[in-house]
Amino acid sequence: MFKVAMVGWGMSAKTFHLPFIETNESLQLAALVTSQQESCRAKYPGVVLHSSVDALVARGGIDVAVVATPNHLHYSQAKQLLSQGISVVVDKPATLMTDDLADLYATAQKHGVWLAVFHNRRCDGDFLGLQQALQSGELGQPRVLLNQFDRFRPTPRDRWREHAIDGAGIWYDLGPHLVDQTLCLFGRPNAVTASLRALREGSQNIDYFNVVLHYLDKEVVLRSSPFCCDPMLRYQLETDRGTWRKYGLDPQEDQLKAGVTPGTDSWCEQLPVQHALWSDTSGIAQVDIAAGDYGAFYRSVARALAGEGLAALAVTPQQAIDVATIIDAAQLSEQRGERVVVPWRSI
């Protein structure tokens, strides 16, 4: 089994990473870096606990480290681990600037290890359903896509993601998901126009975004609002043949938050079937969507550790750099108040 270290023990680590590490027969949670030593020790009595990445590196014996700390720490912590010859999974956003992410990939290559960026919402069932329908050609030529992830949170919460610190705010939180999904569907856009706002009373950081990705033959709108009550429109694809709509979020996150263990009978039995709606001139039809599979990410990590390396990882270095480039370009568009041509770069 390959030994895994978890750096951070917040919501992301507990919900999206640890359940799939613990249920993967090729991976063993061997170490955890956290300031919450007592509560962590009660849950993981056999895991070595550290208070810092320095202590983790000094002890050694780790095959891969997962960095799921506040966003502004990702670059420095991943750089330290990679420099010690430890492969790294880093939560999105991998870094706050594209140049820093390029430096991480260069560091990984220099030390003979790899870096994987955690874009798990490629494994949402509704996204996979939309992707497969587009690839089949049955939907026609896409012209407009609304890719939305709204919530009803009209009052700011006391958590780091909403504080006035670098890397906080909803564009860094949900933006990478929507950007990555869109690039998977349509590739690189030509330009970006962005509105990144703090709309809630007392908000310390960006809590709303409306970002338009401009393609030669289509437009994609990425949006997140804290003022949307259910039902939430998650996707709306408009084509020359009709409209494909999906309401609500993929149910895997709610399952994980409820403590249901992935891969068990309970997980399979309780995971509800999702549906999309297809509307054309003949009427409206309901389309079943297959369940998503967040476990696919850590299965690819296990294969990478077993010798396949970067080739096993779903998110290539170029794809991760492209996501970071859009994140940066949208912020530049907001600062300038104008459409920005995307400065694509190769890695």
CB 322 within 8 A of CB 101: no
- Is the domain covering 121-293+327-341 a CATH 3.30.360.10 domain? yes
CB 260 within 8 A of CB 253: no
For 94, 114, 167, 180, the CA distances from 70, given in Å and listed in that order, are 11, 21, 8, 20
**What is the reported pLDDT for 179?**
98
Query: Exposed, middle or buried by CB within 10 Å (0-12, 13-18, 19+), for 332?
Result: middle
**What is the reported pLDDT for 269?**
73
Under-70 pLDDT residues of the chain: none
Q: What is the pLDDT of residues 213-263, one digit of tens each?
A: 999 999 999 999 999 987 899 999 999 999 999 999 999 999 999 999 998
**What is the reported pLDDT for 305?**
96
CB 345 within 8 A of CB 329: no
CB atoms within 10 A of CB 13: 22
Adjacent-strand bridge partners of 283: 280
- How far is 99 from 17, CA to CA, in rounded Å? 26
Helix ranges (H only) for 84-229 are 98-110, 125-136, 170-173, 175-186
**What is the reported pLDDT for 93?**
97
Token pair belonging to 67: 């960095």
Nearest to 176 by CA among 98, 289, 276: 98
- How far is 121 from 110, CA to CA, in rounded Å? 29
**What is the reported pLDDT for 42?**
86
CATH no. of 2-118: 3.40.50.720
Query: CA 2 from chain center: how many Å?
Result: 23
Q: What is the pLDDT of residues 72-114, one digit of tens each?
A: 999 999 999 999 999 999 999 999 999 999 999 999 999 999 9
pTM for the structure as a whole: 0.96
For 55, 169, 259, 269, 308, the CA distances from 178, given in Å and listed in that order, are 35, 15, 26, 28, 28
- How far is 322 from 347, CA to CA, in rounded Å? 10
**What is the reported pLDDT for 330?**
98
What lies within 8 Å, CB to CB, of 280 at 6+ separation is 241, 242, 243
Nearest to 303 by CA among 24, 5, 23, 19: 24
- How far is 238 from 216, CA to CA, in rounded Å? 16
**What is the reported pLDDT for 33?**
96
Token pair belonging to 76: 């420095």
- Domain ranges for the chain, please list them: 2-118, 121-293+327-341
Pairing of strands 219-224, 233-239: unpaired
**What is the reported pLDDT for 266?**
78
